[in-house]
Amino acid sequence: MEHLADILRQLFVLLLAAKIGDEIFKRLGQPPVIGEILAGALVGPAVLGWYEINAETSLFAEIGVVLLLFQVGVETRLHDLVRVGPTALVVGALGVALPFAGGFLLAALLGSPLEVAIFLAAALTATSVGITSGVLRDLGVLGTLSGRVILGAAVIDDVLAMLILAFASGLAAGSVALDQIATLVVVAIMFIGVVLIGGTRLLRRRRSLLTDPVFAETPFLPGMIIMLGLAALASQIGLAAIIGAFLAGMVVGESSERHALEAEVAPVAAFFTPFFFGAIGAQVNLAGLADLGTLALVVGVTLLAVATKFIGAVIGAIRLGWAQAVLIGWGMVPRGEVGIVVAGLGLQIGAIDGELYTVVVAMAILTTLIVPPVLPMLVRRAGGAEELEFRDDG
């Protein structure tokens, strides 16, 4: 009973703080998610200590980003993604290749063993699309060309990151089972392919499938069930849970009752997403950075992470024009919770030590914090307003 009171109080504090931060930044004309992240940092362990990262609050944060990507998926149509497919593929591939090469080279220069080099490189590759899609959604430009390239590239990015992580884990364990890794990748690609093509086709043929007499009045609860199921499945086969949620959203978004669905998902997402953004802030821990050598490493690794991802993605998207490419490159920069998960895995199997873990977590948070303030300007430069016509496609 006391434990429950404690958790309820923490959820209350974070939601209240995030909401206040959100309102303040809205008034300042800044992305509201920055206000939520800073509010999370303020009430979190580093400053006030009114909110902690534990099993329950982590789950709320995770459900928050799962719902955000589900919502993004509902607003995204398959043919829009397919149209940007080739560009997204190049952006995703180069946006993985350059950070990986950069991380590997840095570790080699520092004289680290091979498995440390591969783990650092793996931690630098993963993109977390949660923050960027949150900001683009707030700006109403998620359906633009750049928004769709970012979403498509994030899916491809996640498959490649899974491949690298499986390879790195195998190497750290002493043996790389190439057949197992191949199986993993085939399963992941099949999962994405079957869900996307099979699922959307099924729903497009029978648009009322989820609201038929078999099921309830609106596709809301069936949608939530599919979201949880595909997020769990994606997570189980080594992809990020948010990729499963995004695919679930795309499938369910084909339902004939899509607008009723959107209206019902909106409050659930509005309730949960502040826990995601707030938890990112609450994870900020400055104590580990007191050592000057560690701090220098954080700055170096973060600059490397930003530069390699940005340059890779910009090259991949350059045929869309400079302004679009810069927007896409910047939107791919956040490592978010995916980077932290990779670092945690590396620590767990002993491939990296405590110091490098702190460095990677700090890099993941820093790359996530620097993106939202600059995105609105890049959207304007890329002609966000004119591009809005693309939204009617969906």
Residues of this chain that bind a copy of itself (CB under 8 A): 1-2, 4-5, 7-9, 11-12, 15-16, 19, 23, 55-56, 59, 62, 66, 214-216, 220-222, 224-225, 228-229, 231-232, 235-236, 241, 264-268, 270-271, 341, 345
Helices 258-282, 220-236: crossing angle, 10 deg rounding? 50
Q: Please give the Cα distance from 15 to 20 (Å, whole number).
A: 9
In the bound state with a copy of itself, the residue whose beta carbon lies nearer, of 110 and 266, is: 266
Q: Least CB distance from residue 102 to a copy of itself, whole Å?
A: 24
Q: Least CB distance from residue 301 to a copy of itself, whole Å?
A: 22
In the bound state with a copy of itself, the residue whose beta carbon lies nearer, of 7 and 139, is: 7
In the bound state with a copy of itself, the residue whose beta carbon lies nearer, of 7 and 108, is: 7
In the bound state with a copy of itself, the residue whose beta carbon lies nearer, of 105 and 237, is: 237
Q: Least CB distance from residue 329 to a copy of itself, whole Å?
A: 27
In the bound state with a copy of itself, the residue whose beta carbon lies nearer, of 89 and 260, is: 260
In the bound state with a copy of itself, the residue whose beta carbon lies nearer, of 8 and 186, is: 8
Q: Least CB distance from residue 218 to a copy of itself, whole Å?
A: 9
Q: Least CB distance from residue 1 to a copy of itself, whole Å?
A: 5
Q: Least CB distance from residue 377 to a copy of itself, whole Å?
A: 25
Q: Least CB distance from residue 34 to a copy of itself, whole Å?
A: 17
In the bound state with a copy of itself, the residue whose beta carbon lies nearer, of 108 and 232, is: 232
Tokens 């969906």 correspond to 394
In the bound state with a copy of itself, the residue whose beta carbon lies nearer, of 166 and 304, is: 166
In the bound state with a copy of itself, the residue whose beta carbon lies nearer, of 2 and 392, is: 2
- Comparing C-alpha atoms, which of 165, 180, 174 is closest to residue 118? 165
Q: Least CB distance from residue 184 to a copy of itself, whole Å?
A: 14
Q: Please give the Cα distance from 33 to 37 (Å, whole number).
A: 6
Q: Least CB distance from residue 352 to a copy of itself, whole Å?
A: 16
**CB 221: neighbour CB atoms within 10 A?**
13
